[in-house]
């Protein structure tokens, strides 16, 4: 199992002993998904949190009118889950679908309490990453309130250059909450400004 990227990532927050790495390895598993496959489907109970080893996913919500709203993209070193569903074990609001073939390391709900008990510093690790996620989500909410679509696009392009190259434009538009025609117009304007 290609666990090294996860260990490198964890080492930014806490230091695990060799024994703790062994315990961790025994409680997680690797899973491969094909492009187009779903990691989580709206309505199902989300049984895991996944760490992206390779690939790219989109997390989205489909409203009552059938409209898709992309909440986030995840690439290497990011996380995928419906956290609301995971922590309460109730049906998921979100879908997570693979935009590329994707390899994840899965933390299962049934094992995570054992992991916390056997490696208490993982509480700290997960606290830290959820804090970062909360802050990112709060800032995204503010941008949606206070920035124009053009400003949001420029922010996205600058902040996540690696993601923009990997995903179709209509998904970028959905993430920004605009139509793909409007995104084309914004990109046309920006090209003229350069």
Binding residues vs a second copy (CB under 8 A): 61, 63, 67, 69, 71, 83-84, 87, 93, 116, 120, 123-124, 126-128, 130-135, 137-142, 144-147, 177
Smallest gap from Cβ 34 to a second copy, in A, equals 26
Taking the least distance from each CB to a second copy, the nearer of 2 and 132 is: 132
By beta-carbon proximity to a second copy, the closer residue of 144 and 169 is 144
Strand pairing class (102-108; 28-33):
antiparallel
In angstroms, what is the minimal distance from the CB of 125 to a second copy? 9
* Residue from 80, 28, 72 nearest 54 by CA: 80
Would you say 145 or 161 has its CB closer to a second copy? 145
Query: In the bound complex, what is the minimum distance in angstroms from residue 135's beta carbon to a second copy?
Result: 4
**What's 70's DSSP letter?**
E
The answer to whether residues 97 and 36 touch, using CB atoms and an 8 Å cutoff, is yes
Beta strands across the sheet bearing 28-33: 28-33, 102-108, 48-54, 79-80
């Amino acid at each position: 199992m290609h666990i090294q990227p996860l260990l490198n990532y964890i080492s930014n927050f806490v230091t695990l002993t060799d024994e703790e790495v062994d315990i961790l390895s025994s409680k997680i598993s690797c899973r491969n998904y094909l492009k187009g496959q779903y990691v989580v489907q709206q309505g199902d109970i989300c049984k895991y949190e996944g760490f992206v080893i390779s690939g790219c996913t989109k997390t989205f919500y489909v409203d009552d009118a059938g409209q898709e709203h992309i909440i986030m993209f995840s690439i290497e070193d990011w996380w995928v889950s419906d956290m609301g569903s995971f922590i309460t074990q109730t049906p998921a609001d979100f879908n997570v679908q693979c935009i590329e073939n994707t390899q994840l390391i899965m933390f299962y709900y049934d094992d995570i309490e054992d992991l916390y008990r056997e490696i208490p510093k993982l509480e700290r690790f997960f606290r830290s990453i959820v804090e970062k996620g909360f802050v990112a989500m709060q800032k995204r909410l503010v941008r949606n309130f206070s920035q124009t679509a053009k400003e949001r696009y420029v922010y996205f392009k600058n902040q996540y250059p690696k993601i923009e190259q990997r995903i179709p434009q209509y998904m970028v538009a959905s993430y920004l909450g605009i139509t793909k025609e409007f995104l084309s117009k914004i990109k046309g304007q920006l090209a003229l400004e350069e």
